[in-house]
Chain A
Amino acid sequence: MSELTGRLAVFKTYKLYVGGKFPRSESGRVYEVTDSKGTWLANAPLASRKDARDAVVAARKAFGGWSGATAYNRGQILYRVAEMLEGRRDQFVAEVAAAEGLSKAKAAAQVDAAIDRWVWYAGWSDKVAQIAGAANPVAGPYFNLSSPEPTGVVAVLAPQDSSFLGLVSVIAPAIVTGNTAVVVAAEDAPLPALSLAEVLATSDLPGGVVNLLSGRTAELAAPLAAHQDVNAIDLAGADADLAKDLEIAAADNLKRVLRPTPPNWSADPGTGRLLTFLETKTVWHPKGT
């Protein structure tokens, strides 16, 4: 809240991020976001099932271009995102501190780790095929090469307990390999996610590659898990009961499911998340004259 003696601050209207645009929820509804002490911070859009549907459409539309971009290009764009994050570091520190009830120093550590993680993932774009692919020595006169490819549209339930570091840790690995994502922000702490959208929108990331929704996780996750045009779902932000229900719904079109694991977002993430949303394509071709 602004000091009476100072100038009156200009509030930010937080919006969804869908297809590179910042719409309000089609439901026209918002919900109150408070800090850890219950003080009002902002109204966040209460995204609806239809917003989720629109986000999937946007993600699918973006998939061809993003997955077809060169790995070098994707790496450049992700690195650009990190640069932009660095430039807005103070804003994220403030938002994370408010959202998670952290001291400024602890919040700063979270934001720094998040930016560093983003850089780490950015570098994977043109390396993942070299650790996940293979030249296979088949017993015949054939060239045989296995390469990873993005699985498609990934629904991501961002972790509830880590509004920014956790968020970055689930988005970056999904998109760096060429997937597009529909991300449901932490239900009670969506503001860092909605601000991240502003960074993504100004970092050459094509619209629709990342779509961010705020609202009730369970409400948004259900249509995403059941959506026939979603290829995978990351259940990081779901509790055990919800995760089970979503996994059952995801079976309808055999989505790749990443089950929630005990969170430790500051640990070395390894390549697990990066490799989860990849398909292995194996191409055979005869060798002859």
Chain B
Amino acid sequence: MTFDYAPAPESRAVVDIAPSYGLFLDGEFVPASDGKVFKTVSPSTEEVLSEVAQASAEDVDRAVKAARKAFEKWSALPGAERAKYLFRIARIIQERSRELAVLESLDNGKPIRESRDADLPLVAAHFFYYAGWADKLDHAGYGANPRPLGVAGQVIPWNFPLLMLAWKIAPALATGNTVVLKPAETTPLSALFFADICRQAGLPKGVVNILTGDGSTGAALVGHPDIDKVAFTGSTEVGKAIARTVAGTDKKVTLELGGKAANIVFDDAPLDQAVEGIVNGIFFNQGQVCCAGSRLLVQESVAEELLDALKRRMRTLRVGDPLDKNTDIGAINSAEQLARITALAEAGEAEGAERWSPSCELPDSGYWFAPTLFTGVTQAHRIAREEIFGPVLSVLTFRTPAEAVEKANNTPYGLSAGIWTEKGSRMLWTADRLRAGVIWSNTFNKFDPASPFGGYKESGYGREGGRHGLEAYLNV
């Protein structure tokens, strides 16, 4: 007999998904103007979860008008009153966090352990944090009485659907803006549930509008002449298109885009924790994280030991049903994303890197990719340069700290980086030289509403989180 963990599925019964959803526009759910709908599926089973409205340009216009109308009163509310709405929302999220976690795992494919222990607590924390700012903006360092911008058009990705919503909506509302938010095409449900939370919180109609749809909806939103602010999290390619769209306008823009983070392990690293950090860095959320530590830079003198330990650790990763509480790695979000990961991994092999995965059985239906390690990777390989956005780690080596920094910075991206060393001065020296917005030293993939997040170079601009995150929504 062996110690095999029996299935421990979280109950689906805690969440009640309607067969169809409309757009949340001016406080009501309405169908798309042209009646178009699309389906959202569970990536772990390919089961259709619901049918949602595909917002048209006309719907975008109606939503922006609703938000504009709501802006007048919302921005005139005393900050303390806005704060109370946000505190209400934070509390309701906490109350409904189990339901929302299950929903998120169903629609996104991420393991319940993560949606339960990472996404949802951070979502609530983000609303709590920014709620507290709403009546303290005079003290935020942006001068007396900083003003909101107006209507914010927000487009968010599918990797952390509700968390990205929180990152966008909480600071926008706290500062007195109203929003039109478009969730990702493949993960619309938690945003629609959030609309219901707004209803429970008594939020005035039009302050938050949720438009489901595809890229065309997003394009119509960021291109709408009457929005004052564009906030986007997603691919660098789309980010550049948005930057072009808003050129010559007065729209304020923040972009949180791709990354190819280096995770640097020096020979004096705390090895067991480094292994955990590497695993967390690249396999958290199936590696579908813009700040994933997708390039492991390991000092040659410990490379062999570290890789042995990493492989041993990877053998214990449990891939499978996202709703099983013991699952470490869930499903890839979509067939399209799976195809991209697969293609890049094949390119890695074709270019001569050595591929390794622990043996693991993948389910028959759904979109799955085994945790994968590439060794013998050089800076010239595509898998060392392009964002894979999947559970694929490229391992490179270095000999000296200067070489580590040079290789780490040798990318158009600059979102995040990791450093593993027990020597404080080396950590600070390295952190100073890395051109990235978030540096995790002896840790990785940590997030907090008080901590600014955002990138250098082609990883975008602007910061979300912390005092810094207010600036994106104030006319300063």
Contacts and interface: CB of A to CB of B under 8 A. Distances in A.
A and B touch in the complex (CB under 8 A): yes
Contacts of B443: 142, 284-286
B240 A254 contact: yes
Interface stretch (A54-62, A104-112, A242-250): A242-250
A144 interface: yes
Interface in A259-285: 259, 272, 279-285
Contacts of B381: none
Interface stretch (B55-63, B341-349, B450-458): B450-458
A253 B258 CA distance: 12
B163 interface: no
A248 B245 CA distance: 8
A144 B448 contact: yes
Determine the interface band of chain B, counting residues with CB < 8 A from chain A. Answer: 35 or more
Contacts of A279: 437, 456
Which applies to chain A's interface (DSSP): helix, strand, loop or mixed? mixed
A282 B248 contact: no
A279 B432 CA distance: 12
A134 B452 contact: yes
B240 A252 contact: yes
A256 interface: yes
A133 to B, nearest CB: 9
Given A134-B452, A247-B247, A280-B454, A254 B461 contact: yes
B202 interface: no
A136 interface: yes
A239 B451 CA distance: 38
A142 B446 contact: yes
Interface in A189-246: 231, 240, 243-245
A137 interface: yes
Identify which of B125, B460, B466 gathers the most chain A CB atoms within 10 Å of its CB: B466
B440 interface: yes
Nearest to A232: B461
A144 B461 CA distance: 20
A24 B456 CA distance: 34
A251 B249 CA distance: 14
Contacts of B248: 240, 243-244, 247-248
B412 A253 contact: yes
Contacts of B257: 254
Contact of A139 (B239, B244, B439, B448): B448
B29 to A, nearest CB: 35
A146 interface: yes
A279 B437 CA distance: 7
A4 interface: no
A9 interface: no
A275 to B, nearest CB: 9
Interface string B200-242: 0000000000000000000000000000000000001001110
Interface of A: 131, 134, 136-140, 142, 144, 146, 151, 231, 240, 243-245, 247-248, 250-254, 256, 259, 272, 279-286
Given A284-B441, A285-B441, 14 more contacts: A138-B451, A142-B443, A144-B450, A144-B451, A146-B468, A254-B236, A254-B240, A254-B457, A259-B250, A280-B437, A280-B452, A282-B438, A282-B453, A284-B446
Interface of B: 125, 141, 236, 239-241, 243-244, 247-248, 250, 255, 257, 412, 427, 431, 436-443, 446, 448, 450-454, 456-458, 460-461, 463, 466-468, 476
29 contacts: A136-B450, A136-B451, A138-B446, A138-B448, A144-B450, A146-B452, A146-B466, A151-B456, A245-B247, A248-B244, A251-B240, A251-B247, A253-B412, A253-B457, A254-B457, A254-B460, A254-B461, A259-B250, A279-B456, A280-B454, A280-B463, A281-B436, A282-B452, A282-B453, A283-B431, A283-B439, A283-B441, A284-B440, A285-B443
